[in-house]
Structure 1
Amino acid sequence: MYSAIMSTEEKSGRHERHDDVPEPLDAPEPRDVPESLGTRERLVRSTQELLWERGYVGTSPKAILERAGVGQGSMYHHFSGKSGLALAAIRRTAEELTAAAEECLATPGTAYDRIAAYLLRERQALRGCPIGRMTQDRDVVRNAALRAPLDEMFDWLRGRITDILTEGQRGGELSGELAPAATAATVTAVVQGGYVLARAADDPAPFDAAVQGVLALLSAQSTADRPATTPAD
């Protein structure tokens, strides 16, 4: 038991603990969390990393505390329990990914250039998408609160890309036959599917090929000639 300050659900035993879940064989090296950070911030950052590596079920309170380097009562001092901490971590990750995407999508240039900047930005293809990873976790998708940040981020991304494509059409950069909303959904699906294919092959090449494929489709709808593009390593 990590603390006398525990939620009613945890005391009743309705939530199974996973303190002894082994670390995946392909897990990346743990990242050190700076000791200069406050306890709450260290807990959130450690949980972000562990959720990306192990998923929700595989992330135990014990593993979080060890990664954060904090005492047993710390989690329950700042959060109601594992689910509350996981929600804070998932929201933080969604906010960070949204900001990274917006930085690319807000760059100067045509609609094609802006979407290409998003698709070609540096990614860790073999680790997968930290938010997409959560959609594969049954305990997350069945929990409305934990699932909400995932829905919000993907809804925002599809909407943002739809707006950019619509602007491109109105400006004469893209064919009027292009369906902005459907194309935005395709771009989002290609990125997430590319992660899955890369992880399955243990090779980023399938991700790069998927990106090149969707860029070729966009280029075919563009009114300007485009040079060949290459994904970042």
Structure 2
Amino acid sequence: MNKSIEKLITTTQALLWERGYVGTSPRAIQDRAGVGQGSMYHHFRTKAELAQAAEERSAAELIEEVRALLDAPGDPLDRVLTYLRRERDVLKGCRIGRLAADPEVVADPALRKPLEHAFGWITERLAALLREAQDCGRLPQEWDAQSLAATVLAVIQGGYVLARAANSPAPFEQAIEGLIALLTNNATAED
């Protein structure tokens, strides 16, 4: 990949995570990337086009990080718990989830698509593991795995919001531990 394109995408990824779409100006991207306006617009016609490329990269990276945890060997419920407990920069928030609060991102189907893709993939993978945990007798059969997977993702994303509002990771950690307690207190021993 062209060095300027790489700088533009990685810089935009960082700025979107820090400032959101609205708060990320083309000038800020150019200044931080050390790339001139002509070069930026040679590779990307608009800020939205560059942001979409950065979002797609961030979504792919997040999916790969989550895939490494969820596709690891071992008990399916334990893999979900490992995902819940994975180390995160809680106060920075989710690099994808933060963008879902940005009205311009939500209003633009092309900018929203990488978010939908990442969250959809994670939800489906979690649902599959939760169904496996049910098949192994680790979770009650009557639970809807798809709804439970959506709950897992909602607790994580909501935990980020609560932590940022409190300027403390404590609300995030409390939400995660609460969900883990619900899952493990309802888990049954393997036969």
TM-score band, normalised by shorter chain? over 0.9
Per the TM alignment, residue 110 of structure 1 is displaced from its structure 2 partner at its CA by 1.4
Letter in 1 for 2:9: V
Number of the residue aligned with 2:162:
197
TM-score between both structures, scaled by the size of structure 2: 0.95
Map of 1:81-230 to 2, 5 A cutoff?
81-224=46-189
The Cα of 1:167 is off from its aligned counterpart by 1.1
CA drift at 1:71:
1.7
Aligned residue pair count: 189
- Unaligned 5+ segments in structure 1 are 1-36, 226-233
Per-residue CA distance 1:130-160 (angstroms, 9 max, x = gap): 1111000000000000001111111111111
State the partner residue of 1:64. 29
**2:3 aligned partner:** 38
Q: Conserved in 2, the CA contact under 8 Å of 1:128 and 1:199? A: yes
**Cα distance, 1:221 vs. partner?**
2.4
Identity among equivalent positions (%) equals 53
Q: Offset at 1:84?
A: 0.5
- Contact kept? 2:137, 2:189, Cα under 8 Å: no
Amino acid at match of 2:66: A
Give me the CA root mean square deviation. Answer: 1.2
Which has the bigger relative contact order, CA under 8 A and spacing at least 6?
A: 2
Report the TM-score when normalising by structure 1. 0.79
Shift of 1:69: 0.8
Point out the more displaced range, 173-182 or 124-133: 173-182
Stretch of structure 1 that moved more, 171-180 or 119-128: 171-180
* Counterpart position of 1:75: 40
Q: Aligned with 1:108: secondary structure?
A: coil
How far apart, CA to CA, are the structure 2 residues paired with 1:189 and 1:165?
15
CA contact (8 A) 1:110 1:173 kept: no
CA deviation after TM superposition for structure 1 residue 173, in Å = 2.3
Alignment partners' CA distance in 1, 2:184 and 2:118: 26
Distance 2:173 2:25 in 1: 34
List gaps (5 residues or longer) in structure 2: none
Deviations 1:162-188 (A, max 9, x none): 001111111222221222111101000
Q: Which has the larger radius of gyration?
A: 1
Distance 1:153 1:191 in 2: 14
Kindly state the Cα deviation for residue 210 of structure 1 after the two structures are TM-superposed: 0.6
| Cα displacement (A) at 1:215 | 0.7
